[in-house]
Structure formats: structure tokens, C-alpha cells
Amino acid sequence: MLADRKAQFELARKTIYWMIAALIISMLVLAFALILGNYTGKLTSVPKELQAELISQRFANVPECFAYQDNLTGKVFSGMIDLMKFTEEQMKQCYITDKEAGIKQFNFRLKLAKAGKEVSTNNYYNHDDFTIYKEVLVRNEKGEVAKDQLMIYVQEKIGN
């Protein structure tokens, strides 16, 4: 009878030990998986500045935006802004964000330093998160080309 009690106690002790061990091992595996997932997320994340830089490439390099395009040859001059195209209407054709969710996307205000002209996207609310500077050539109405600096003020998002 004493041996049966001792065996029952031994069995209960081993059961409790293995339950605690299984719980600890499960927690360690879960913690390792979370750490590994967080690490890979950080490795593959793209900085907001780089995302905005890549999006803003369109402004000076695409004829649907502000890049100068020769009417005779159709050749697009990347990095050369046509001052006659540098308008709010052209900006609406070039880059437009959704009315509802547009405040959570990148919005831009473009300013030519020497020319003194400025345009902005439809959901830009004068909240600059950072600025991108680009050296560009500007072609005016007379066909003259001058060096200028394009300042791209970036608004990452408004609100949550």
C-alpha cells in the first residue's frame, strides 16, 4: 500500500514536470518565431525617404508630368522641366491621390527655387515630413534653358 502511494506520487510529479517543461518549450519556440519574424521584417523594410524618392522621379523624368518633350522628335529630356507644363492642372494628370485615403499616401509640394513657381498634389496640407532636393534644368517659354533646384516637400501622411 505504501508502494502504491509512492508510485502514484511519482507519477503525479513526473506529469507535472512534463507539463511545465512542455509549456516552457512552447514559449521558447513561440518567442524565437516572433524574434525571427521581426528580424526579417526589419531586413526587408524600405525607408520612407527611398519610397518618396522613387515616386518623385516621375516629376522630372516623365513627359506626362513636367519633363520637357521635343515636339518634332518626341524625345523626352529627363531632368529638364518644361516651365509651361509646371501647373496644378498638369500635376493632377501626373500624380493624384484618392479623396478618401489620399491623406495616408505620399503627397508632394514642388518648388523651383530660381523660377519661384510652386505646385502641389491634391491632398497636400502644408505638413512637410522631409524634403528632397534635385538639380534640374528648366526650359522657359522662350526656349532658354537654365539650371535650377527642384525642392520636393514630402508629406508622408496626415492622421493615423
Is the same domain home to 33 and 52? no
Tell me if 141 sits within 8 A of 84, measured CB to CB.
yes
Residue 114 to residue 143: CA distance in whole angstroms: 16
- Within a domain: 160: no
C-alpha 19/C-alpha 89 separation (Å) is 69
Number of structural domains found in the chain: 2
Tens-place pLDDT, residues 36-59: 999 998 888 888 999 999 999 999
Asked if residues 82 and 139 have their Cβ atoms less than 8 Å apart, the reply is: yes
Indicate if 115 and 57 belong to the same structural domain. yes
What digits encode the pLDDT tens for the residues 61-106?
A: 999 999 999 888 989 999 999 999 999 999 988 888 877 766 678 8
Supply the pTM of this predicted model: 0.72
| Structural domain for 141, as ranges | 48-155
